A and B are shown apart, each in its own frame.
Chain A
Amino acid sequence: MPPPLDQEVLRQKSRWLRRQTLQICRQAGEARLGSAFSATELYVALYYGDFLRFDSSKPFWPQRDRFILSKGHALGGLYPVLQDLGFLTQAEIEAICTPGGKYGPYGDCVPGLEAQWGSVGHGLGVGAGLALGAQMDAKTWLTVVMIGDGECYEGATWEAAMFASHHGLGNLIAIVDRNRACSIDFTENVLRLDPLDEKFRAFGWEVETIDGHSFAEILPAFQRARTQARTRPLCIIANTVKGKGLSQLEGNPLGHVITPSTGPDLERAIRELA
């Protein structure tokens, strides 16, 4: 467990992470830069902000918190963190999406987190099952699931939301990366998701809404999530910007699928992330 860091250090870490993520997404083709960049500060807070409990020398340490990246398309943005913390080696990172490499843009079994998938809508239900299993056996670890707002179109997400509150899963935390865009358009154009907080509240969850790029808001919310005893699951809706940090992606309805890979686009991206 790294020591807690001050916010400026976390902001620097986020800038580093975006630069590293661009590199991985260029290499890994299908990895989604826009999705990763909306979640960058959340990743940093989860792994460097004294939130998740883990031991990178023992990825299956029984007392670890179970973190599920349900929005698996954003895994590209987590790889540098996992390498930095020692879950993955430099060679493994360099082999992503190369013949013989173990890991892909969405991965399957990646050390440092419990699960992530290329298909959406699995995480909240799997997380609810994990949390119920922990509750049955009086385990104290938390289950933390990051879902994209696009996943809130999936019926399975709401099946799980109902299930989690019915079973009083106070050990389950959902973080919604509310970047307001799915793959080919903005969510409110496609099919309105707002008011998302009221939807989760109506399903019996505690809900907190934060700015998902501000450590001043993320850190206290995560600390409360960690320390407060609950009898209901907690949903943290993090308002974010898809593609945050790159002018080519921010506000672009196709920001999910664009990765500046060559030429002036890449040069501009590198400049903006410097």
Chain B
Amino acid sequence: MKTMRDAFLERFTEIAKADRNVVLLCNDFGAPALDRFRAELPRQFIHIGIAEENLVNAGAGLAMAGKQVYLYSIAPFVPLRCFEQIKVHMGFRGFNMNAVVVGAGFSYDKSGPTHHSLEDVTAVGAVPGVEIWTPSDAVLAEQLAVHSLRPGPKYFRFDREAVEDLYTPKEDFSRGFSRHGTGTDLVIVATGTIVHQALQIAKALKPRNVDVSVIDLFRPKPLDADALLAHLKPARRIATLEEHFLHGGLGDSISGLLHDHGLTVPLKRLGVPEQYFFEYGGREALRKAAGLDLATLIARLA
């Protein structure tokens, strides 16, 4: 299994070889796939130091000089340590700047809450015009390297862990989501690697005569409202699932979408409760502490 980071960076390196205008800036965050990029394309790699404000500022300057800019960081530090720079440079003028971050949710499970990223989607989502992608597998992550060349500011939020692939490169990712299953008793809208948990829930509820389908919403912003509503309207119940704080996250987006269109389907939002977790026993222990482990989720949705 490949990590999203490796899948993205490997494809990205090939793209950058063909396009010398592509530059990647990082804030002292590495990866073996990045080592290859550095070795092969040293003139397109800029280590900015541990200086996130300058990461975005200098990146904006390079974008103004005509470069296709990538900001590579661990998730909790971009966007939060340089949020006003993101607002001004990615938000105001819509520069071709791609923030590529690793460490969605509890990915850095043994590093404590400084390294958990549970606010970033809310923060970036508050800036008009920035696309947000939170893929659930490496196949999509690789496709996103190609997508990243399209104009405009984008935020790619990768999990650190390698997970089973859900897709093939033939999948059409353009609507921003994919539906798994046809059940309408319960439709779970999830994003990121916790989509795999949602698929497990669907399996577990089947014998209990709850026919579940899962919508992998790998592009939380912008939402393809019409396409999503067509899938959500027939649902008897809807749940949202995210490894992120609830406030301003995926659940709020879906809730807003439904209400704005006059739909009153019962909705349950599942995410990380509003507190920080000083728990160092690994990803599953953290998910359990947050009520996002499989058993708890099944009990909450049965």
> Is A37 interfacial (CB-CB < 8 Å)?
no
User: Provided the pairs A126-B61, A155-B53, A156-B53 are in contact, do residues A133 and B66 lie with their beta carbons within 8 angstroms?
Assistant: yes
Stretch of A76-84, A117-125, A251-259 that contacts chain B: A117-125
Known: A122-B85, A129-B59, A132-B46. A114 touches B64 (CB 8 A): yes
Contact with B along A121-163 (1 / 0, CB 8 A): 1101111111111101101000100000000000110011011
A184 on the B face (CB < 8 A): no
Verify B85–A129 contact, CB threshold 8 A. Answer: no
Contact: A133 with B65, CB < 8 Å?
Answer: yes
Asked if B197 CB lies within 8 Å of chain A CBs, one says no
User: Which residue of chain B has the shortest Cβ distance to A122 in the bound complex?
Assistant: B57
Given the interface contacts A108-B92, A133-B66, does A126 sit within 8 Å of B60 by beta carbon?
A: yes
A129 touches B64 (CB 8 A): yes
Residues of B in contact with A, size category: 20 to 34
Partner of B48, one of A133, A139, A143, A163: A163
**Chain B contacts for A126, CB-based, 8 A:** 57-58, 60-61, 64, 89
A130 and B61 contact, Cβ closer than 8 Å, known pairs A117-B88, A119-B88, A136-B43: yes
* A109 located at the interface, meaning its Cβ lies under 8 Å from any Cβ of chain B in the complex: yes
- The residue in chain A whose Cβ has the minimal distance to the Cβ of B51 is A159
Is B57 a contact partner of A129 (Cβ separation < 8 A)? yes
Residues of the A chain whose Cβ atoms lie less than 8 Å from the Cβ of B57: 122, 124-126, 128-129, 156, 159-160
Across the interface, which residues of A come within 8 angstroms of B63, CB to CB? 129
Q: Mark B88-100, 1 if CB is under 8 A from A, else 0.
A: 1100110000000
With a CB–CB cut-off of 8 A, which chain A residues contact B61?
125-133, 143
For residue A66, CB closer than 8 A to chain B, the reply is yes
Knowing A117-B88, A159-B54, the reply to whether A129 touches B49 (Cβ < 8 A) is no
**A-chain residues with CB within 8 Å of residue B43 when the two chains form the complex:** 136
- Whether B88 lies near A163 (C-beta < 8 A) is no
- Which chain B residue has the least Cβ–Cβ distance from A118? B88
Which residues of A lie under 8 Å from residue B62 when comparing CB positions?
129-130, 132-133
Flag if A163 contacts B49 (CB, 8 Å). Answer: yes
A122 and B86 alpha carbons, distance in the complex (Å):
11
A160 to B82, CA, bound (A): 14
**Interface positions of A from 30 to 72, Cβ below 8 Å from B:** 66
Interface hub of A128, A131, A137, A163 (most chain B Cβ within 10 A): A163
Nearest-Cβ distance from residue A67 to partner chain B, whole angstroms? 12
Q: Nearest chain-B residue to A123 (Cβ)?
A: B57
A166–B226 alpha-carbon span in the complex (Å): 51
A-chain residues with CB within 8 Å of residue B23 when the two chains form the complex: 136
Q: CB-CB < 8 A to B54: which residues of A?
A: 125, 128, 156, 159-160, 163
Closest to A155 in B: B53
Q: Given A125-B57, A136-B43 in contact, is the A163-B64 Cβ separation under 8 Å? A: no
With A137-B65, A143-B61, A160-B54 known, 4 other A-B pairs at CB within 8 A are A121-B53, A136-B23, A156-B57, A163-B48
Question: Which are the 9 A-B pairs with shortest beta-carbon distances?
Answer: A129-B61, A133-B65, A125-B57, A159-B54, A129-B58, A156-B53, A159-B51, A130-B61, A126-B61
